[in-house]
Structure 1
Amino acid sequence: MTDRPHALRAAAVPPLPPPARAYPPDLAAKLAGREKRVLGDPFGLRNFGVNLVRLAPGAASSLRHAHARQDEWVYVLEGTPTLVLGDRQQVLAPGDCAGFPAGTGEAHHLVNRSAQDVLFLEVGDRSPGDSVTYPDDDLAGAATPEGAWRYTRKDGTPLG
């Protein structure tokens, strides 16, 4: 038997703590106004993750980034986020989705440039050995064998 739920109300899942725990203050500030609820973990999902993300006006989904091994996909539920993909930008609307194949090096994120909140689902696989690059920021990330993320500066020095 398991104590895992078979179903739950997404809004009842507590949001993650602010990214200040993982990033230095200058980078964490770029994510102010983002609320992320990890929906796959309560069910024990191991092959992919699902997050419900709310962006207040002016907030970004993440630092602009590209994964080496992890595919990502988003589906807009509410609001009109701007997708920033490489040097291109596109306003999305409810019902729109976007996918980001691993290994392309094309960095992406969503930014809420509207006056209303944005709500979207974010899905990504959990491929072992993943790493992530951040072209706009002095940050690099690598997944540990246990699946946690370890962040450093681009030259490998610890954050601090």
Structure 2
Amino acid sequence: MSEKPTSKNAEGVFEPFHVSRVPWVEFSRGERFGLRYRHLSSFGGASQIGVSMEVLEPGRQANQSHYHLLEEEHVFILEGSLTLELGAQVYELSTGHYVCFPAGQKVGHAMINRSQAPCRYLVFGNSHAGDVAIFPETGRVDVKLMGEGYRKSAVIEYWEGVDVGQQGRPDETA
């Protein structure tokens, strides 16, 4: 198994690099979802802040509407335009626009390119091993620490299913 390419030199130092050295990764799901991205931060050796340069083609949506409880995301539009759905609000973003999705802001966000040209933007964020992501449209809850997803409708009360009767008591006759 080969190592992912990075900007690390022979001495183990991560050096500056041109973004063209970072390989593109393609994501697609059906006709609706899909984008290309270059994960700049991992190429540069980052372990705490994530930075990706993404390209969203016309007619595509980047991700399902979602929000994070512990991770924060920032988006800066470099070129082109896209539509941001932020809860019930809709915003048209173009070159020079910036938006932050603070951790714990319980409003789903989704980016859709409804223009006729690709939109290129930077995404910044802090990865958190214990993050929980909520997907309002589907009720999905992703628990990163466990690598699993659940239905929000599957909520149970703390004591549900627990026998709260008398536990075996120590023998009082001894």
Query: Fold conserved (TM > 0.5)?
Result: yes
Map 1:11-50; keep pairs closer than 5 Å. 11-18=20-27, 28-29=29-30, 30-32=32-34, 34-50=35-51
Deviations 1:105-135 (A, max 9, x none): 1110211000000000000011331010111
Instruction: Tell me, in whole angstroms, the C-alpha distance in 2 between the residues paired with 1:137 and 1:36.
Output: 25
Q: CA deviation at 1:151?
A: 4.4
CA RMSD of aligned residues (A): 2.2
Deviation for aligned residue 1:156: 9.9
- Residue identity opposite 1:12 in structure 2: R
Residues 68-87 of structure 1: CA deviation (Å, up to 9, x unaligned):
10011000001111111010
1:24 aligned partner = none
**Taking CA–CA contacts closer than 8 Å with sequence separation of 6 or more, which of the two structures ends up with the larger relative contact order?**
1
Match of residue 125 from structure 2: 124
Distance 1:106 1:45, change over 3 A: same
Structure 2 gap ranges (5+): 1-10, 155-174
- Does the CA contact (< 8 Å) of 2:139 and 2:153 recur in 1? no
For structure 1, list consecutive stretches of 5 or more residues without a partner in the other structure. Answer: 20-27
* CA drift at 1:42: 1.3
Query: Which has the higher Rg, Structure 1 or Structure 2?
Result: 2
Opposite residue 62 of structure 2, the aligned amino acid is S
Percent of residue pairs bearing the same amino acid type = 25
Q: Which one has the bigger helix percentage?
A: 1
Which 4+ runs in 1 deviate beyond 6 A?
A: none
Give 1:31 deviation, angstroms: 1.6
Q: Secondary structure at the match of 2:151?
A: coil
Could you say which residue in structure 1 is the equivalent of 2:109? 108
SS of the equivalent of 2:61 reads coil
TM-score (norm 1): 0.80
What are the residue-to-residue correspondences of 1:10-159 with 2, within 5 Å? 10-18=19-27, 28-29=29-30, 30-32=32-34, 34-137=35-138, 139-144=140-145, 150-154=147-151
Q: 1:121 to 1:46 in 2, by over 3 A?
A: same
TM-score, scaled relative to structure 2: 0.74
